[in-house]
Structure 1
Amino acid sequence: MNSLKYESIDNLNIRSATSMGGFSETVLLLSPLPESIRAFEPIWDKLASRFNVIAIDLPGFGKSGGRKELLAPKAMATFVRKAIDHFGGGPMHVVGPDVGSSVALFIGQEDPGRIRSAVVGSAACVYPIESDGILTTMIMDRTNDELQKYSSRDIINGALANMSHYQLTDDLREDYLSSYDNGRFWDTMLFLKALPHELPGLRLKDIQTPVLIIWGRTDPLAILKNGEILHRELPNNQFHILESGHYAWEDTAEEYGDLLVKWIEGEYLKK
């Protein structure tokens, strides 16, 4: 991944990485929770050798500055459209695993001319909510009082333990952990708690944007049923199940990257 830097977008200090090689296709990677854009390091070189690649830590996530009013899917989708304009690459393929999934789907619904396709997965992104374990608590518990008896670092380390193949370096783990220190992790819960209120506004059957759905078969949090529903309801999609848990982009990086390459090189044009 190229050197990390900061861009001023919508009056926020947004951490980003770019590789602009003059290619015909541009990919925008949106950071997952509880990680950052560094989660894409295992697939970065594969993508950057074929496409223009931009990655951003979403506002309030990773190392980016934030505003609480952006911590909801629709508001975040509006921000991402501003980010697309900021980087000036024209219509892009928006890759949004985890919290980026609902964001990408709202862009595909509300402003389809702004993106060429959406890549989603590993997210509670359909309504009624389909989730399990601690993710259900994070979404549905109004206060999270019980969770806040634990430190954010302990919760994040527990979540990252779901990786079974990818070995986090100490540096990378610290990037994730420090991204959510000083109360930032609890602020991100606002995004999750907005899901039951905003996901009913996703009219999946009306979204004509091509969507690539990638899911880990044994995801214990954002369960596979989300992907199955998306595959059934979205009119223009491909659905792939990888042998991973939640973190498919890292745990099965080779397969995940290959799927992205095939999709962006032309599969997204096939109906």
Structure 2
Amino acid sequence: MVSASAPRPGTHHRTATIGGLEIFYREAGPADAPVLVLLHGFPSSSHMYRNLIPALADTYRVIAPDLPGFGLSAAPPPGSYEYSFAAFAEVVDGLLAALGVDRYALYVMDYGAPTGFRLALKHPDRVTALIVQNGNAYEEGMQDFWAPTRALWADNSEANRAAMLPFFTQESTRFQYVAGVRDETRIDPAAWLHDQLFLDRPGNHAIQFAIIYDYRTNVALYPAIHAYFRASQPPTLILWGRNDPIFSVEGSEAFLRDLPQAEVHLLDTGHFALEDKADEMVPLIRDFLGRQLVASAPTSADAKEGA
């Protein structure tokens, strides 16, 4: 681990053109280190990993993209781009290929979970480990909070969309950050204000509705994801804010049905656990990755350098 006096590794802020879209990503760490890919949730971006990246980048090559429609990545109107989790997985796959990465651990949260799990379904041999932080893969994790969304899935009408508009307000964004948190003074208001800045862009609500409606395809994919877990048994660390009103704690426990060796840690916080529990989470992450990625195969970029 980095000593208290050691300088924190710097983070690079870059863009790449993937499938015709400008994709923004943060990257830090040695080029020849094991790779960790961080996939963000709604309504955030790679900004949610701004503190985690330098805490890991002394040992790992950390890559955190903004998904299309989020953060600083391109946000074309829905009529010109298919906002789907299948498309998101293709974008991440394309970015990793462009960066010469073909072996990686995945840290998935919220929307990042179905994106990352689709990537794992496509390339099960490439995934060295999973870290799941309030990222759902089981019906048990989707309780009362999801009733308006399920209504939209059943009837994608203007009335059901109008009922969900309050979900895009600053009050709702703040709620996602502070609900279930014991000490709200540990939550930086800049986090939800940053997210709200992008949610409030003209045309963004249409993008978000397209993504929310597509989320139903992730639920339909759960049996295939469970089959992947059972067949591949990727080393898995589950870090879960047990007071999360969005993905309930039952969702974390359900992983053990298919991944009985998974390491589960329930944290006394809410949805965006990293905002107030990084001091507890970083040691757990470093310990887990240190044990699981020791024998990780080199990336294709490393192989090219050694050729």
Q: TM-score, normalised by structure 2?
A: 0.77
CA distance in 1, matches of 2:42, 2:84: 14
Contact kept, 8 Å, 2:137 with 2:251, in 1: the verdict is yes
Identical amino acids, percent of aligned pairs:
20
* TM-fit CA distance, 1:46: 1.1
CA distance in 1, matches of 2:168, 2:212: 14
SS state of the match for residue 24, structure 1?
coil
CA RMSD of aligned residues (A): 2.6
Which sits farther off after the overlay, 233-242 or 208-217? 233-242
Match of 2:213 among 176, 183, 190: 190
Is 1:145–2:156 an aligned residue pair? no
Which sits farther off after the overlay, 220-229 or 172-181? 172-181
SS state of the match for residue 14, structure 1?
strand
CA distance in 2, matches of 1:132, 1:15: 33
CA distance in 1, matches of 2:193, 2:253: 34
Structure 2 counterpart of 1:121: 133
Unaligned runs of 5+ in 1: none
Task: Give matches, 1:1-271, under 5 Å.
Answer: 2-66=11-75, 71-126=83-138, 128=139, 130-142=141-153, 143-148=160-165, 151-162=168-179, 163=181, 164-165=183-184, 166-170=186-190, 172-181=191-200, 182=202, 183=205, 184-202=207-225, 203=227, 204-234=229-259, 236-267=261-292
Measured at CA, do residues 236 and 77 of structure 1 come closer, stay the same or move farther in structure 2, by a change above 3 Å?
farther
CA distance in 2, matches of 1:66, 1:80: 15
* TM-fit CA distance, 1:58: 1.5
* TM-fit CA distance, 1:57: 0.9
1:89-143 CA-to-partner distances (Å, cap 9, x unmatched) read 33111111111122222333331122211211313321x3532343442344333
Measured at CA, do residues 87 and 191 of structure 1 come closer, stay the same or move farther in structure 2, by a change above 3 Å?
farther
CA distance in 2, matches of 1:160, 1:102: 21
1:179-220 CA-to-partner distances (Å, cap 9, x unmatched) read 222324334313433333332332242233222221112111
SS state of the match for residue 68, structure 2?
coil
CA distance in 2, matches of 1:242, 1:102: 22
Larger Rg: 2
CA distance in 1, matches of 2:292, 2:268: 22
* TM-fit CA distance, 1:64: 1.8
CA distance in 1, matches of 2:41, 2:64: 11
Contact kept, 8 Å, 2:235 with 2:292, in 1: the verdict is no
Measured at CA, do residues 258 and 150 of structure 1 come closer, stay the same or move farther in structure 2, by a change above 3 Å?
closer
Unaligned runs of 5+ in 2: 1-9, 154-159, 296-307
Which is helix-richer, 1 or 2? Answer: 2
Aligned residues: 268
Structure 1 counterpart of 2:300: none
Contact kept, 8 Å, 1:217 with 1:243, in 2: the verdict is yes
SS state of the match for residue 252, structure 1?
helix
* TM-fit CA distance, 1:74: 3.6
Measured at CA, do residues 73 and 151 of structure 1 come closer, stay the same or move farther in structure 2, by a change above 3 Å?
closer
Contact kept, 8 Å, 1:210 with 1:237, in 2: the verdict is yes
CA distance in 1, matches of 2:167, 2:289: 41
Contact kept, 8 Å, 2:141 with 2:252, in 1: the verdict is no
SS state of the match for residue 21, structure 1?
coil
